[in-house]
Structure 1
């Protein structure tokens, strides 16, 4: 995919000097700031990763970079373009195509001294940044973290608007001339693009939330701060600034808002749903064989989150045994003779985990099928090209089976057949919903788009873990069953861009790894409710 080979992030730039920018012919810098067409500029920018948003216009699959830039130019704004292929940004494998790791001797990231410039990334660069590595370079804050990304199983991060605004003002007061908010609008990790354990919603507490709605008081507070700095930008750029206090007994009024969700449709009727059970492969019907446990990343080649490890064992009689599996991540579902005997998973901080289950062998051939699932690839760190995932040890009653003959199946049958699309869903036999839910089940339903223009979200609070598609387009992984330490789902609502919806007859397809119940799903719209808050 083109976006994985060359992926960019864009920062829409607001100039804080005078005039509207209609195109610049010369950009240089000195120790005070960037210089655009001979004028020193203080710049504020906001990161927007355009593949994490759906355009109002036709950008041909979220990939038309040139047109995106031209739309920004029409508004008289600058663009700072960070070219890939490596971009980190919690994008799976950091935006690099996985096939690069197959090249012998390749190193993804090396120390290249001539191209270094120290800029600051973080929350409090006004205090922590010691300045650039040359007196002739400006002080740039390239990532002012408005919040932080969330990982499944971890509490949602939060940063106060007071903290953000204070440190921006402090940075400018200490010779800073460029601040980029990371993120200004986070958007959604569609498809399988999120890196390891990162939720589908990305930087949802940014000035513009996942749905593109304004987050108050953050958005309005920063807008007023930028206007204040713009009004005295000539003076600020003239020489080093000093700071002073306005004194006590000041009163400030701020706008605040709350995000409100309203249920528009529930899927509680079993007649709305059809189901298809994913086939569990066994050793005999796999085409790839190896006398070892293969690295999941290189075996799947980023074509699927899933890899089946299968093994056949002969037992002379029915016997109770213990299955022990060591995994380097991220999720494992173990089946013996087609029956689920155990599941386990790691976390963002500790992706490695063990599974130990009591199993019963029957007399004769026993079929062991282990489904290993990744939740995104790593996106940064040393030796990225050497990263591994999947199983690295299997024992039964203490007997090591690691070097037995294993059969492998990359991905799911439903993925291969693309049954999440309208046309290809007809290639399999869908059945009515049963009285009980089973693991590894595909679900299908149709619905009409909610009226109006408010953003739309799918409430998957009754589900477990899997992936969701709308009209053939993946809206990302879901993992509702992985709760935060406070006991709530890491992410319960999943954004459905209205650009993916038709007026009627929209196809919703879910692949559920666990035993979630689709009858509890609702389709909600999202809006904001504003209030005024007094401080003094």
Structure 2
């Protein structure tokens, strides 16, 4: 008998044992997450893998780690992974395993928010539209069709990540998993409390059955909390929130760093001071894990990635901007806070604590003590006055309005949330290479509307007006409704259409006769347009379009789209009465456009003869345009400036950059005329502030990731211009730091300035003690310090970054008593 060696088997067993031994044990108690037996204070940030590219992931994750983050959090995007039932996509930006491996390689933890309902300003909240085709389906309620599909997808994701050994117990980075999302916000609005309660408890049981080896969380689930899950907080502030049970830690899953933007809204900005205030207050009040939503917002690439009327940009005013650049001072100010909090980790998580209100509930001192050490927070929630607070040692500390001072030894203030010590960066867009800025050579192709101008060819017919999402399966933004009628003689009418769609185009006998779109949030409008019918057969073609699907609210999937029910009628122009009600006529249905079926955006070789050169028509609706260009040199992020276009979709080298609509001008709102970090930040109502971009195009710059571009060879941009625009105004730019400023630096501070992407400081323009006008990038001096200007010029010019200590010597000869220094440099 052949002798079998025991060594390979023994080695395998040892390897398996080592793998198990290398796993991380994750638990929790009433103070914090417990990792390998140690309580941990954790700071996390959201980076959504489909809103960037795999090539961007390592840099984004590295910057997050350097910013003081311990973990990366992401949703899982069901409709991106399963766009059609049982047809899966885990390639490119949807390679979730690769994303988590990048997190692991960076030495960071990960938080997996499966949902699979995610909201996220994402089409249908991440739920695939094909769910509606399943008999008996009720979204997010206790019914077998939904729960079966939800469990199937959840198990698929869990098994895929288990296979890759991505959970902490396997040695992977994932320390928390989430099931469902913000269900507590809608439970009492679902009209069936029993079904809602059964569903959320089923979710918890199903999740725990997955045996992932890490705790499960449910955010915004403050009522009817299932056992064996941790309920968590979402919002701009969570210091006043506490979990339902005392045996689970206080976790903040979403600290909103800004706000999403709709086509009719200006840009939202949440100040670095206010975010720092919220974080400091959270950890002052026994917080243990906080996640920034978003840390990098990114881009809504493709048509399935944005909710209703949400712009392509999902910048979110995050510490890393849409393109992956560091947003200063937000990034640096929070990094400084993280460093201070981490230095206090042990005392915050193990120490005894005492809260003392200082004569008013708006002012509170919290003292943590452990053995012979102590740490203190002093918070001032007044938004209109600073306060003087005297601690036990007799020392008095001045705390600015709406701020928190942190004293790691209860003696010296190491950090105040209102005092920014890091630089402010002004990002500028520079023209690309000459071949780009000199103008692009365009060709064009008309969208073939002819097949849709009659009702003779369609997918099916129905004697009623159907709902758009269920009819099209959301495989396109567009659905054609077409009918015909016999008419005697010539007559003029008003075509009246009632729709719940977002846009509507009307054609009569092949001619475009009207276009209308709903204001954001309306989604119900009437279009009336004059039409002329001839004798004989007349054709009416209505093109309904959606601009993203509803993603939030109770029963959001029941919100209709399209010309469901109508009515559609022809109104007599003389009597103003209905001459023809076409609502129950025979309607022919067809989803999509001819160019979508032909995949015109891919610029296939067999289709290239269809493109026309010569004089390019502009302001022509339903037109395709194409141009080639060279990629701008360097490594700076690239953007396409689409100002001058109307509305449509843009591709580069076949990659969908998203919907564009620069002709939509953002509303004028009071928040554009006032900005003060002090006071509660609000995204709705009269309290809005610090807005920019009122009366400007909602979005004109569109991210073109470097990985979409080919260096040294032609790149192809294809536009589908739906509304009619001028492509000859399109140009490309790169984005980088243009000016770097340090403000309010005090004597003894280390003042650091930095450019980006290899650019160096070309000049130091301002070094002022106490008197400056304007803002960073356009400061005017006053009380100039020649000594400071000389020191910064010598240390900084020609370098990508520099650090100079602010000393008393800078005040010599300046004529100013202030020790506060402002410096501006040009990159």
> C-alpha root-mean-square deviation of aligned residues, in Å?
2.2
Is contact 1:221–1:254 with CA below 8 Å preserved after alignment? Answer: yes
For normalisation by structure 1, the TM-score amounts to 0.91
**In structure 1, C-alpha distance between the alignment counterparts of 2:55 and 2:134, rounded to whole Å:** 39
Partner of residue 506 from structure 1, selected from 708, 715, 730: 715
Shift in alpha-carbon separation, 1:24–1:529, aligned structure 2, 3 A: farther
Q: For the residues of structure 2 that align with 1:146 and 1:183, how far apart are their CA atoms?
A: 6
Q: Does the CA-based 8 Å contact 1:207-1:218 persist in structure 2? A: yes
Over residues 414-442 of structure 1, what are the superposed CA-to-partner deviations in whole Å (9 max), with x where a residue is unaligned?
Answer: 00010111326617622234444321111
Which residue of structure 2 lines up, in the alignment, with residue 17 of structure 1?
Answer: none
Deviation per residue, 1:460-479 (Å, 9 max, x gap): 11001110111111111111
- Which residue in 1 is equivalent to 2:427? 259
- 1:215 partnered with 2:383: no
Higher strand share goes to which structure?
1
Q: Distance in 2 between matches of 1:425 and 1:134?
A: 65
Number of corresponding residues: 513
Q: How far 1:57 moved relative to its partner?
A: 7.5
Q: Which residue of 2 aligns with 1:331?
A: 503
Alignment of 1:472-487 (within 5 A): 472-486=654-668, 487=695
Aligned with 2:94: secondary structure?
Answer: coil
Larger CA deviation: 237-246 vs 294-303:
237-246
Quick check: 1:197 aligned with 2:309?
A: yes
Q: Which residue does the alignment assign to 1:8?
A: none
| Offset of residue 248 of structure 1 | 6.0
Q: Distance in 1 between matches of 2:353 and 2:605?
A: 65
Q: Per the alignment, do residues 226 and 24 of structure 1 end up closer, same or farther by CA in structure 2, a change over 3 Å counting?
A: farther
CA distance in 1: counterparts of 2:315 and 2:256, whole angstroms: 9
Cross-structure match for 2:398: 247
The counterpart of 2:93, out of the listed 43, 47, 62, is: 62
* SS of 1:182 mapped into structure 2: strand
Match of 2:261 among 125, 147, 150: 150
User: SS of the residue aligned with 1:420?
Assistant: helix
Greater fraction of residues in helix: 2
Match of 1:439 among 621, 639, 646: 621
Q: Which moved more, 1:264-273 or 1:315-324?
A: 264-273
Deviation at 1:521, TM superposition (A): 0.8
Q: Which moved more, 1:226-235 or 1:59-68?
A: 59-68
- From 52, 57, 79, the equivalent of 2:110 is 79
Kept in 1, the 8 Å contact 2:443–2:611? The answer is no
* Structure with more contact order per residue of length (Cα contacts < 8 Å, sep ≥ 6): 1
1:299 to 447, 471, 495: 471
1:489 counterpart residue number: 697
Partner in structure 1 of residue 404 of structure 2: none
- In structure 1, the partner of 2:344 is 232
- Structure 2 counterpart SS, 1:215: coil
Q: Partners of 1:353 and 1:409 in 2: how far apart? A: 22
- Residue 451 in 1 paired to residue 633 in 2? yes
Match of 2:559 among 387, 406, 413: 387
Alignment match, 1:272: 442
Runs of 5+ unmatched residues, structure 1: 1-21
Query: What is the alpha-carbon distance in structure 1 between the residues aligned to residue 438 and residue 526 of structure 2?
Result: 37
Who wins on radius of gyration, i.e. which is larger? Answer: 2
Aligned to 1:164: 275
Cα distance in structure 1, aligned partners of 2:94 and 2:323: 19
CA drift at 1:518: 0.5
Match of 1:522 in 2: 731
Structure 1 residues 324 and 424: alpha-carbon distance in aligned structure 2, compared to 1, 3 A threshold: farther
Q: 1:97 to 1:424 in 2, by over 3 A?
A: farther
Cα separation, partners in 2 of 1:322 and 1:176, compared to 1, 3 Å: same
Match of residue 420 from structure 1: 601
The corresponding residue for 1:119 is 232
247-256 vs 526-535, greater mean Cα deviation: 247-256
8 A Cα contact 1:28 1:35, kept in partner: yes
State the partner residue of 1:99.
130
Which range moves more in the overlay, 386-395 or 407-416?
A: 386-395
Question: Cα distance 1:47–1:524, how it changes in 2: closer, same or farther (>3 A)?
Answer: same
Specify the SS of the correspondent of 2:120. coil
**Equivalent pair of 1:315/1:364 in contact (CA under 8 Å):** yes
Corresponding residue SS for 1:126: coil
Structure 2 CA distance for aligned equivalents of residues 60 and 329 of structure 1: 32
Q: Which residue of 2 aligns with 1:9?
A: none
Q: Does 1:53 align with 2:52?
A: yes
Residue in structure 2 matching 1:468, options 629, 633, 650 = 650
1:163-195 Cα deviation digits (max 9, x unpaired): 100010001000111110000001111111211
Closer, same or farther: CA 469–174 of 1 in aligned 2, 3 Å: same
- Alignment match of 1:173 (pick from 275, 281, 284): 284
**CA–CA distance in structure 1, aligned partners of residues 56 and 325 of structure 2:** 18
